[in-house]
Structure 1
Amino acid sequence: MSTLTVTGLCKSYAAGVPVLDGVDLHVPSGSFTALLGPSGCGKTTLLRLIAGFDDPDDGTVVVGDRTVAGGPGRSVAARSRGIGFVPQEGGLFPHLTVAGNISFGLPRRQRREGSRVRELLGLVGLDAALADRSPHQLSGGQQQRVALARALAPAPSLVLLDEPFSSLDATLREETRLAVSAALDAIGATAVLVTHDQAEALSMADQVAVLRHGRLVQLTDPRTLYRNPQDLDVATFVGEAVVLDADVRAGTAHCALGAVPVDGSHPDGRARVLLRPEQLRLSAPGTEPGSVVARIGGVDFFGHDARVRLVLPGAGTVSARLVGADLPSTGEEVAVTVLGSAQAFPPSAADDVPHPALSA
């Protein structure tokens, strides 16, 4: 497998509006990178430029030591790039069997032997008995695995996946995601996944590239992205967030949740602080020193855990994440304490009056 290096990639469509604006991205050989961002941020355009389905206006795409796109007249055709592509809906040929789909891009001898098809079905976790079935006889998850097997059949140097799990239900999505990850790991594939699902990106990828308005705003491993986002926009996009106005003094943020230590160095003064819902702990009022009292505004039960909405005096509603047992009731008063530290960011431009929570 090969590295992927994208440098200064730009692309505009109608009216000259930039879809990608100077994107730099490096994907190490054998690693898995997720492209994450809201709709319209340029994720799919970036994937299409890497695949060769479109040409960039500027910048280069290098796979291994081979420049496959680098300005007008220098693009290598998509079929000659040695890249496997798994589209959103699988894109299987309905008139071909599973075996016919997987072997479509193989030399004639390998298609006749059938050994490569059996090998790939086993790799993606499917029974060899499915080889003679038509795509419509498979479940959605099975179809996506066949699409991956087809992409892997010619032994590509890079595999691109364009939201391949988005049409699957939750259980099938997780099962298929695990099977795809295992198959890619087994061959040490270099892979790039486009997704708008934060959990998908954080659980599958070695590194996550966050795109916003056509620019790459952060590229890092999943834990760093979640715990140390570049800014509040990234923080609120990647997972649930508790964001509060605060006054930072000597490394402590004074906010509606009390005095909370701040990660790193932040100048004294007004700030916006970030906590994650799982950092909030609830107890009976008066039992935890330094806690603040909140009222339960509602509970959303998910089985394995629950989201508890907390109404804080003068600061609106924030969310806590708790295990799905011994949950409080709506209207009940609880004490709220914070586990760990917060991240502090500059105040927003709209914060031009003191917040009631900062009066302490």
Structure 2
Amino acid sequence: MSSLTVKDLTKSFGATPVLTGVDLHVPGGSFTALLGPSGCGKTTLLRLIAGFDDPDSGTVAVGDRVVAGAGRSVPARRRGIGFVPQEGGLFPHLTVAGNISFGLPRRQRRDGGRVRELLALVGLDAHLADRAPHELSGGQQQRVALARALAPEPSLVLLDEPFSSLDAALREETRAAVSRALTASGATAVLVTHDQAEALSMADQVAVLRGGRLVQLTDPRTLYRRPGDLDVATFVGEAVVLDAELRGGRAHCVLGALPYEQASAGAVPDGRARVLLRPEQLRLSTPAGAGSVARVQGVDFYGHDSRVWLRLPDGGQVTGRLDGADLPAVGDDVTISVRGTALAFPAGDGGAGPAVAAKGALRAPAPLS
């Protein structure tokens, strides 16, 4: 296994900058996810690491070996890097065994034991070795693509959104199989994804890219619980962002006087601020006692849990995440209490507006009459 070190990497296409001074270190044997919205530069970064493109400046090193920059550019085929593309990229005229053994020396290609070993590693039966790619499911094809990438025993494996074309159930199953195979192989892995759940569940560390810059690099729990700014917070999971005033050790907002912690970006002085809560921190009860009264606007039921849309007294809207039992009905008045602490950011930080549930994929229900 080898580490990956990227230093001050830049890349432009024509007059358009795509990456601007990216620094990234991936420890040997670890799994890192490059997470960000479309157009943030994550696939370009992966291609520079793989050797499919050359950087304008900066360096890429695999272990102690500089493979790009500093006056050198090692060809992709000589970098010792395995690559799994988005659609698998299997050769349609070759069998599964032929695909897996394609890049191996002739002696190893003749040895069926290596193919059986790799099929077992990615969780596939040996009887699939003689099948053509079109006879496999999408998840099986992606596992074969991973087996092909692992066949030469690379020290680094790159995965470019390999699960995006799979349906939800197959995606979960394939992700788990790929994660187990990478762990068993001991290879260092870098995954490009725009799927937050994928990044948080699979990776040892997550690198968040925005506008061609790496804005936060940390472990998944820290990223979710202590995001570097509100833009990261609202990208990595659903978020409730509220205007507040900090005084007396409390954040005073529409949900009451909440205990809070300072965001990792630095100390936030008393006065105007914005606070972050996660929807699962909201607790609902019948209107009685302390708490902020809100009206239920909608309920999205998912079985294992539900999203509840809530209209606040000031006209703002938030969402809560509850388990699937004993849900309120649309039109009910409920009291909102908060479990745990809020995270305070400067008043001018980005993210959603006052008293809203921030998440690009969410669509609010129509207001009640």
Q: The TM-score by the shorter chain falls in which range?
A: over 0.9
Work out whether 1:258 is the aligned partner of 2:260: no
1:290, distance to aligned residue in structure 2 (A)? 3.0
Would the aligned equivalents of 1:256 and 1:315 in 2 still touch at CA under 8 Å? no
Q: Secondary structure at the match of 1:126?
A: coil
**1:188 deviation in Å?**
1.6
Name the structure 1 match of 2:367: none
Alignment of 1:151-300 (within 5 A): 151-264=149-262, 266-286=268-288, 289-300=289-300
CA distance in 1, matches of 2:349, 2:139: 46
Cα distance in 2 for residues equivalent to 1:214 and 1:315:
36
Q: 1:322 to 1:349 in 2, by over 3 A?
A: closer
Give the Cα separation in 2 of the matches to 1:336 and 1:173. Answer: 35
Tell me how far 1:226 sits from its aligned partner: 0.2
Match of 1:142 in 2: 140
- The aligned counterpart of 2:47 is 48
Query: Could you tell me how far apart the structure 1 residues matched to 2:207 and 2:253 are?
Result: 31
Q: In the alignment, what sits opposite 2:365? A: none
Shift of 1:348: 2.5
> What amino acid maps onto 1:292 in structure 2?
S
Is 1:59 equivalent to 2:61 in the alignment? no
**Partner in structure 2 of residue 307 of structure 1:** 307
User: Pairwise CA RMSD of aligned residues?
Assistant: 1.4
Runs of 4+ in 1 over 3 A off after TM superposition: none
Q: Tell me by how many angstroms 1:17 deviates.
A: 1.7
Aligned to 1:326: 326
Instruction: Please report how far the alpha carbon of residue 315 of structure 1 lies from its aligned counterpart in structure 2 after TM superposition.
Output: 4.4
Gap change, CA 1:82 and 1:349, over 3 Å in 2: closer
* CA displacement at 1:251 relative to structure 2: 2.1
Partners of 1:346 and 1:229 in 2: CA distance: 13
**How far apart in 2 are the matches of 1:85 and 1:325?**
44
Match of residue 77 from structure 1? 75
* Counterpart amino acid of residue 343 in structure 1: L
Number of equivalenced pairs:
349
Q: What's the % identity of the aligned pairs?
A: 78
Quote the offset at 1:51 in angstroms: 0.1
Pair 1:35 & 2:37 matched:
no
CA contact (8 A) 2:246 2:273 kept: yes
Structure 2: gaps (5+ residues): 356-369
Structure 1: gaps spanning 5 or more residues: none
2:16 aligned with 1:6, yes or no?
Answer: no
Find the residue that maps to 1:92 and give its secondary structure. Answer: coil
Distance (Å, rounded) in 2 between the aligned partners of 1:315 and 1:131: 61
Aligned partners of 1:294 and 1:336 also within 8 Å = yes
Letter in 2 for 1:294: A
Query: Please, which of 94, 97, 102 is the counterpart of residue 95 of structure 2?
Result: 97
TM superposition shift of 1:325: 1.1
The normalised TM-score by structure 2 is 0.93
Instruction: Kindly indicate whether the alpha-carbon contact (under 8 Å) linking 1:294 and 1:335 is maintained by their aligned counterparts in 2.
Output: yes
- Secondary structure of 2:183 counterpart: helix
- The CA distance in 2 between the partners of 1:187 and 1:104, in whole Å, is 19
Q: Which amino acid aligns with 2:81?
A: I
Instruction: Please tell me the residue identity of whatever aligns with 2:259.
Output: P
Change (3 A) 1:294 1:44: same
Q: CA deviation at 1:187?
A: 1.6
Distance 2:108 2:249 in 1: 65
TM-score, normalised by the number of residues in structure 1: 0.95
Moved more, 202-211 or 313-322: 313-322
Aligned to 1:18: 17
